Structure 1
Amino acid sequence: MAVQPEGTPCWADAMFSDLEGAKTFYGDVLGWTFGESLSEYGNYTQAYADGKAVAAVVPPMPGQDGPSAWCLYFASEDVAATAARIRENAGEILLEPMPVADFGTMCLAREPSGAVFGVWQAGTHEGFQAMGTPGAYVWAEVFTREPGKADAFLAAVFGYRQKRLEDEAMDFHLYDLGDRALLGRMTMTEDFPPEVPSYINVYFTVPDCDEAVARATKLGATPRLGPTGSPFGRYASLIDPQGADFSVIDVTTTEGEMPKTTEVS
């Protein structure tokens, strides 16, 4: 795929203390195969679906502890400029912009309500080689307890337009660039334990949601929600055996009418 426009989700990776366990789990659940671990880059290991790069897994660096979590990266034409906007809008830079050989330039950041994300300026690595096909990334949502902070920050940094879902049961926004919805924002309810921080939940495509959930739970994943039908596809949210949240969705099996939205000024 070509380099994505500024603010477009373009890559996802996750750190796992048990790298081989993660490869076994996601290989079985999502059908991933894995490339060679690059020792010069901390054993960073790309995952492939049907031969196309769709994500990566990596073990923690020495002294780098913390729970496993998926990190979504947003495309940038100039990481340094994006980092400056992050700071100007009350975000925090966790890892300063740094080149990764000729692959590209990255930084890690935290938005004001607490969700961690990455920024990627493409070099030879342009990001996802496939999206929306089995095993590949298709969607993501920011789960936050402080939606006003997240909304204002992401609009200022990436220029998103916002639409509110007309559904009294939830507080959900869509972030758009042009006519394309790129990201969702969900306000966390009391269903989430208070110790769960804001985070970005990534969705991977599967050909059959129920089968994927059955395989995942058999391998030690914990169901958080679903499987359930929606106009966007049949989906489920899970916590993998090492504690990382993710979702699976069968985009070919839809149910119900598309919800109405209202543009947020």
Structure 2
Amino acid sequence: MPAFIHIDIPTDNVERAKRFYSDIFEWTFEKPSPDMDYYLFSTKDLDGNEGIHGGMGLRGEPDQRIAAYIGVDSIEKYASKIEQAGGQVLNKMPVPDWGALAICLDTEGNLFGLWEDSDKGENK
């Protein structure tokens, strides 16, 4: 069943934001590639079990906000379902070597993302 699998947090200062979230919530961060200015983070629930994962990087646009992504097996299939149900698909794009994403709006104007893993088996 599709579920929220990733949260993307845009920042103005990555180091400051990493300190904030790790000091308060004990999140851990790792840089997936030395040539990326982006960090992946891991969380744990209140019982210490693995929680949702996410990413943190520099804010791309002045009004960019936290975005939550729902994992799906096919962006095309779910984009069609979203549009049929009255939502909108604003943008779809590949993420080379990782998968693909789509930015969508629900019927209430809430922004959310879809994520489809690459079939290459990398970075899953």
Q: 1-side partners of 2:123 and 2:81: how far apart?
A: 24
> Mind listing any 5+ residue stretches in structure 2 that lack a counterpart?
45-49
1:211 alignment partner in structure 2? none
Distance 1:37 1:17, change over 3 A: farther
Distance, in Å, in 2 between the alignment partners of 1:68 and 1:120 is 17
Partner residue of 2:72?
76
Matches within 5 A, 1:102-113: 102-113=97-108
Q: 1:33 to 1:110 in 2, by over 3 A?
A: same
What displacement does 1:67 show?
5.1
How many pairs does the alignment contain?
115
Q: Which runs of 5 or more residues in structure 1 are unaligned?
A: 127-265
Q: Distance in 2 between matches of 1:90 and 1:40?
A: 39
Contact 2:40-2:56 within 8 A present in 1 as well: yes
Higher relative contact order (CA 8 A, sep 6+): 2
Q: Between the two proteins, what is the percent identity of the paired residues?
A: 22
- Alignment of 1:16 with 2:11, yes or no, is yes
For residues 56 and 112 of structure 1, the distance between their equivalents in structure 2, rounded to whole angstroms, comes to 26
Query: 1:194-222: per-residue Cα shift (whole Å, max 9, x none)?
Result: xxxxxxxxxxxxxxxxxxxxxxxxxxxxx
Structure with max Cα Rg: 1
What letter matches 1:20 in structure 2? E
Indicate yes or no: 2:47 matched with 1:48. no
Q: How does 1:130-209 map to 2 (within 5 A)?
A: none
Q: What secondary structure, in the 3-state scheme, does the structure 2 residue paired with 1:95 have?
A: strand
3-state SS, counterpart of residue 86 of structure 1 = helix
RMSD value, Cα: 2.4
**TM (normalized to structure 1)?**
0.39
